[in-house]
């Protein structure tokens, strides 16, 4: 894990791609894309091993156990589409029910899952907590935490890893789900979105803070 300051808050980037706000006992994750393999098969796309939901829930279960977080915010695209949410098998639904029990759980709407799902918890288009605004896609006003873009970055000669992007007023989380792609941190889309002087935190066994990579 790697701790950093964002505005007036002290946050921690976990190796898994989750964000911890210790003062609020809050764990934030983005872009779980549960049910991705089912959705692709349903739409006649490439077949993926049907284990991504289990792999993602195992990771989330471990993060909640390690951090003891009592509040959870899922920053949208928690499901690959609304039909995927409805089509979760019984094991996955019971697993989510257990993880949610005793915790204040908020589902933020994303572009893949633009509406409430029948799994409990609160449902919001966005959420303000203290000085921070949580929404799926960045670009709004305020001190903002978002997801959507699945940023990834790499060191020279090494493979790309999901990463956090940290600017002065915007923090973009990596995709938390298994089998999710990503947008390179040097992509011009991030120039205006995250601003100059941004940093990246590479996920992995030892999270690493680096300047945001730029186009050569």
CA atoms within 13 A on the CB side of 3: 5
**Mean per-residue pLDDT, 122-139:** 94
Report the alpha-carbon distance of residue 184 to residue 97 in Å, rounded. 34
Report the alpha-carbon distance of residue 61 to residue 204 in Å, rounded. 17
Report the alpha-carbon distance of residue 128 to residue 100 in Å, rounded. 20
Task: Give this prediction's pTM.
Answer: 0.89
Report the alpha-carbon distance of residue 164 to residue 3 in Å, rounded. 12
Phi, psi of 72 (to 5 degrees): -135, 135
State the angle between helix axes of 90-100 and 52-67 in degrees (0 to 180), rounded to the nearest 10: 20
Report the alpha-carbon distance of residue 73 to residue 127 in Å, rounded. 9
Phi, psi of 177 (to 5 degrees): -75, 155
How do residues 29-41 score in pLDDT, each as one tens digit? 999 988 755 555 5
**Mean per-residue pLDDT, 116-135:** 89
Q: Tokens 């300047």 belong to which residue? A: 211
CA-angle at 170, arms to 12 and 199, nearest 5°: 65
Q: Which tokens sit at 144?
A: 């903002």
How do residues 80-106 score in pLDDT, each as one tens digit? 666 666 677 888 889 999 999 999 999
Q: For the chain, where are the alpha helices, taking DSSP H only?
A: 36-42, 52-67, 82-86, 90-100, 189-194
Mean pLDDT of the chain: 87
pLDDT at 42: 44
Which of 9, 3, 1 has the alpha carbon at shortest distance from 133? 9
Q: Which position has the higher pLDDT, 86 or 3? A: 3
Report the alpha-carbon distance of residue 22 to residue 206 in Å, rounded. 19
Query: Which residue segments constitute the domains of the chain, with CATH numbers given?
Result: 2-211 (3.60.21)
**Mean per-residue pLDDT, 180-191:** 88
Is a pLDDT exceeding 70 seen at residue 167? yes
**Mean per-residue pLDDT, 129-151:** 94
| Local structure of residue 124 (DSSP, 8 states) | E
Helix or strand (DSSP H, E) at 5: strand 2-6
Per DSSP, what are the bridge partners of residue 128? 133
pLDDT at 46: 53
């Amino acid at each position: 894990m790697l701790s950093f300051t964002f505005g007036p808050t002290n946050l921690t980037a976990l190796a898994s791609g989750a964000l911890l706000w210790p003062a609020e006992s809050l764990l934030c994750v983005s872009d779980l894309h549960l049910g991705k393999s089912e959705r692709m098969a349903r739409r006649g796309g490439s077949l993926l091993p049907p284990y991504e939901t289990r792999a993602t829930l195992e990771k989330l279960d471990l993060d909640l156990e390690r951090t003891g977080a009592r509040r959870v915010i899922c920053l949208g695209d928690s499901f690959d589409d609304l039909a995927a949410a409805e089509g979760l098998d019984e094991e996955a639904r019971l697993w989510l029910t257990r993880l949610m029990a005793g915790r204040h759980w908020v589902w933020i709407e994303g572009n893949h899952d633009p509406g409430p799902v029948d799994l409990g918890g609160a449902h919001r288009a966005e959420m303000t907590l203290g000085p921070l605004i949580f929404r799926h896609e960045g670009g709004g006003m305020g001190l903002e935490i978002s997801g959507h873009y699945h940023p990834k970055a790499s060191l020279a000669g090494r493979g790309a890893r999901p990463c956090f992007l940290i600017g002065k007023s915007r923090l973009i989380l990596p995709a938390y789900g298994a089998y999710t792609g990503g947008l390179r941190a040097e992509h011009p889309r991030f120039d205006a979105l995250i601003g100059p002087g941004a940093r990246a935190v590479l996920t992995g066994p030892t999270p690493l803070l680096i300047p945001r990579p730029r186009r050569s």
